[in-house]
């Protein structure tokens, strides 16, 4: 049995439209009956926690630091924290991982991967088209870099597989780390 107070940080990273929010909602629905869970969605965080930050590299890194700090506070108190944020730079994600690890907290990075054409097709706001046309500056993956994780614990290919496959893969990663009781238990 997993200790009730075993908090963790599940960090979902990927470009805009990759499926981070969709997977985080599926994870929340599955985990909430089992344990205390919080989702920190990038769009909501920008509204409530990091309002005023822009999209320069420095501001994006500060955004990730703030998310990481709140995630650590929650996880330290036994919450399973699901972060769904683009977090485009490896260095920022590595910093958040290091601070979580130093605090004795489990950190699981999930890379939600999708090719640019799939992201453009999913983009109801037309942001990719604007960025590709040069009308929108500092757009991750177009005019600003997205540094894909080099060795995430989980990779979800959202353009090729249904959300249920990614959900199962993430749950298996949590189970293998003792953060979620196995279904056979």
Catalytic residue list: 87
Question: 144 Cβ partners below 8 Å, 6+ apart?
Answer: 55, 57, 88, 138
Element (H, E) at 9: strand 8-13
Q: How many CB atoms lie within 10 A of CB 6?
A: 16
Residue 20 annotated as part of some ligand binding site: yes
Residue 17 annotated as part of some ligand binding site: yes
Residue 19 annotated as part of some ligand binding site: yes
Q: What is the DSSP secondary-structure string of 72-129? A: HHHHHTT-EEEEE-----HHHHHHHHHHHHHTT-EEEEEEEE--HHHHHHH-TT-HHH
Residue 29 annotated as part of some ligand binding site: no
- Identify the DSSP state of 65: H
Q: Which two tokens stand for residue 43?
A: 């769009």
Residue 24 annotated as part of some ligand binding site: no
Q: Are 58 and 118 in contact (CB under 8 A)?
A: no
Residue 172 annotated as part of some ligand binding site: no
Q: What span, in angstroms and rounded, lies between the C-alpha atoms of 72 and 95?
A: 12
Please state the residue numbers annotated as binding site for ATP.
14-21
Please state the residue numbers annotated as binding site.
14-21
């Amino acid at each position: 049995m997993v200790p009730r107070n075993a908090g963790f940080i599940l960090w979902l990273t990927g470009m805009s439209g990759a499926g981070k929010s969709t997977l985080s909602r599926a994870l929340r629905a599955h985990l909430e009956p089992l344990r205390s869970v919080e989702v920190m969605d990038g769009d909501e965080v920008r509204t409530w926690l990091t309002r005023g930050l822009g999209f320069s590299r420095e501001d994006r890194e500060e955004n990730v630091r703030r998310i990481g700090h709140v995630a650590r506070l929650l996880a330290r108190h036994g919450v399973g924290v699901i972060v769904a944020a683009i977090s485009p730079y490896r260095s920022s994600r590595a910093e958040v991982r290091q601070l979580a690890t130093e605090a004795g907290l489990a950190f699981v990075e999930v890379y939600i991967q999708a090719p640019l054409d799939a992201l453009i097709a999913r983009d109801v706001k037309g942001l990719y088209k604007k960025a590709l046309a040069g009308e929108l500056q500092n757009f991750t993956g177009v005019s600003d870099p997205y540094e894909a994780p080099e060795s995430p614990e989980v990779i979800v290919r959202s353009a090729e597989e249904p959300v249920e496959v990614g959900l199962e893969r993430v749950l298996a990663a949590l189970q293998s780390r003792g953060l979620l009781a196995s279904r056979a238990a």
